[in-house]
Amino acid sequence: MKKSNSNIFWTWLISLTVGFMVALPLTQRLYSNQNNPYAIIESKFKVMNQILYYVNQLYYDDVDMEALMDGAFKGIMDQLDPHSMFISSKDQKNIDEMFRGEFQGIGIEFDILNEYITVIAPVIGGPSEAAGIQAGDWIIKIDEKNARGIDREDVYKLLRGKKGTRVDLKIGRIGSEPFDVTIIRDDIPLYSVRASVMLNDRTGYLWLTRFSTKSGPEVRRSIKKLLNQGMDRMILDLRNNSGGILDQAVEVANIFIAEKDTIVYTKGKYKDAEEVFIASPSKGNDEFSVIVVLNRGSASASEIVAGAIQDLDRGLVVGETSFGKGLVQRQAGLSDGSAIRITIAQYYTPSGRVIQRPFDKNNYNDYYREIYEDDREEKLDSLKKLRPPYLTRKGRTVYLSLIHI
């Protein structure tokens, strides 16, 4: 911003601050009196105003104030936990698209970790999965350009594109030398049920890859079809299902539970964040046995479904230890089309187990990296005796994380 615009900018900044200060007393009740956070907020607003004034007046070059402020908002949310976040207006449009339908690109769920695009999970059935991309991989180069320090907006610009176009990537992977991959962009399928087939005369198999707006109805239709083909036992595959919408997780879990019992409950700082989700017997079906398959990429909504089935003795859970994402986020839209996603509570399984695994607020990179360590299962097994046991409804012992026995 040039110096000729400084008076306009400073007038705008004062107006913005006054608006904040007028609004704050109305919402003061949201804050605890502990350590007088309202006074801290008021003091820090003054400091922020000073910083922005000096940046505007003294910085040697033009400044993108929108990007600067978005970075500050992101920093605020990063101080809370690994899953609270600020979402810019441009990023929010892309997220909305993810839950609505199809788009064209390479098909990965990602986060920016240690300045690199890190794959949380390849989209099942997408071109990245077909090319061998794995959860935990990180992108070093995109079309020969260094991808370190890339922002989310540029990720979408560079990796999405028209069907049939190519993108050349250099991939990093734990335990391997960096390697090159060429991916041909394609339609990215966003259906929840990837496969629903009979493996033999009795065994049905359902592969659920995500929890989006229509997951419950999709699963219900698929199970009905399998039952009509003679299914009396089922494998529910939730591997690499990183979660999604809470209501859909509850609806899917309820399909398997024909008794009035708790599916999941939440606890938070405020009472309005505390909820208990109860199964409706009329929506459940217990006429077939079920085995749930998880791996380290199974998170959040997947863990809610698996935890309910395990704790209520509706079925068995097998595979690897799941991700351990058990924080409840509430999204709040902001005036410019951006949003914050803020943790308001924790998930608990019916037996009282906390799904969320521990994290270090000063090192979120390790929180994600440890998921992909080759010896993760051995480390967790060695700590099994230190974890408190919980009992299922029928008295079977289960442990704090979704360890499978």
Q: What is the pTM of this model?
A: 0.71
Contact 396, 384 (CB under 8 A): no
Query: Which is the catalytic residue, given 311, 338, 351, 401?
Result: 311
89 is catalytic: no
**Percentage, residues of the chain above pLDDT 90:** 56
Question: What mean pLDDT is reported for the chain?
Answer: 86
Task: State the first-to-last Cα distance of the chain, in angstroms, to the nearest integer.
Answer: 61
| pLDDT, tens digit (0-9, with 9 covering 90-100), for 311-359 | 999 999 999 989 999 999 988 999 988 999 999 999 999 999 999 988 8
- Catalogue all structural domains in the chain, each as residue range(s) with its CATH number: 3-63 (no CATH), 102-188 (2.30.42.10), 193-399 (3.90.226.10)
Task: Out of 242, 325, 351, 401, pick the active-site residue.
Answer: 325
393-403 b/e with 16+ CB inside 10 Å = b? eeeeebbbbbb
Gap between the Cα atoms of 49 and 321, Å rounded: 47
Cβ atoms of residues 306 and 239 within 8 Å: no
pLDDT at site 270: 87
Residues 6 or more apart whose CB falls under 8 angstroms from that of 5 comprise none
pLDDT at position 359: 86
Going by C-beta distance under 8 Å and a sequence separation of 6 or more, which residues neighbour residue 324?
Answer: 299, 303, 355, 356, 357, 401, 402
Per-residue confidence band for 377, with pLDDT thresholds at 50, 70 and 90: confident
- The catalytic residue among 222, 298, 300, 338 is 300
CB 119 within 8 A of CB 110: yes
Check if 325 is active-site: yes
Q: Do 277 and 345 touch, CB atoms closer than 8 A? A: no
| pLDDT tens digits, one per residue of 83-133 | 999 998 878 876 766 555 557 899 888 888 888 999 987 887 789 999 999
The answer on pLDDT for 143 being more than 70 is yes
- CA gap 396, 125 in Å, rounded: 37
Coil, strand or helix at 263? strand
Q: Assess whether 379 carries a catalytic annotation.
A: no
List Cβ neighbours of 64 (8 Å cut-off, separation of 6 or more): none
**Gyration radius of the chain's alpha carbons:** 24
